[in-house]
Structure 1
Amino acid sequence: MTDHTTIAHRYIELWNERMPSRRREMLATNWTSDARYVDPLMSGDGHDGVDALIAGVQQRFPDFKFKLIGEPNGYGDRVRFSWGLGPEGADSPIKGTDFVILKDGRIRNITGFLDQIPQGA
């Protein structure tokens, strides 16, 4: 049985991890080597591609953090959850929903949707 909440929390922790070496460890543990991430603004393949995306988001929004919004859910090898990106202690100005496909309990494919983006973000 897949623990959808654990998958979502690990995903959010990865996007918040600022230390590149720790981020690479997390990718190796929780993502398949051929993982793919895609959303309307960017995409990345494999650990290198995903790591580069995360580093780019962190550079663009240095004072923002990701947080889960609501409860993750799913069935079988599919997980869905919503997230916010913004300053700690405030409502997130950027929000999205991600759909995850797992392979052997590890993240293999992410399709991200951007639900709220302020102008100029």
Structure 2
Amino acid sequence: MHDFNAIARTYITAWNATDAAERAALIEKTFAADVAYRDPIMQGDSHAGIDALIAGVQGQFPGFRFTLKGDADGYADTIRFSWALGPEGVPSVIEGTDVCQIEDGRLKTVTGFLDKVPAR
């Protein structure tokens, strides 16, 4: 049995970690070594790939923070949760929902959907 909310919170914490050593430890805790991440804008594989994605988002949106929207939902080895990204204290700029497969307590695959994106 998985604690879906704990998994989602750790995932969000990893995306918010700006210290490289802290982020690496969170990535190892949260993601399987051979994780595959896909969303409409980016993709990455392995811990190094996830680290590069997180660093890229932090570079593109300095000072923005990820937050969970509501509780995670799941069954068996599948988890779904929604998140928001934006500066603290103001409405989010980007929102999404991720559906993930869990293996040995860590995320094996992440498929992301963008629910709200700014107009270009």
TM-score when scaled to structure 2?
0.97
Matched residues, percent identical? 48
Aligned to 1:103: 103
Q: Partner of 2:49 in structure 1?
A: 49
Q: Which amino acid aligns with 1:52?
A: A
Which runs of no fewer than 5 residues in structure 1 stay unpaired? none
Structure 2 residue aligned with 1:80: 80
SS in 2 for 1:111: strand
Aligned to 1:16: 16
TM-score normalized by the length of structure 1: 0.96
Structure 2 equivalent of residue 34 of structure 1 = 34
The answer to whether 1:70 aligns with 2:70 is yes
Aligned to 1:61: 61
Give distance in 2, aligned partners of 1:102 and 1:68: 18
Pairwise CA RMSD: 0.7
4+ runs deviating over 6 angstroms: none
Deviation at 1:71, TM superposition (A): 1.2
- How far apart in 2 are the matches of 1:65 and 1:85? 6
Cα deviation, residue 91, structure 1 = 1.2
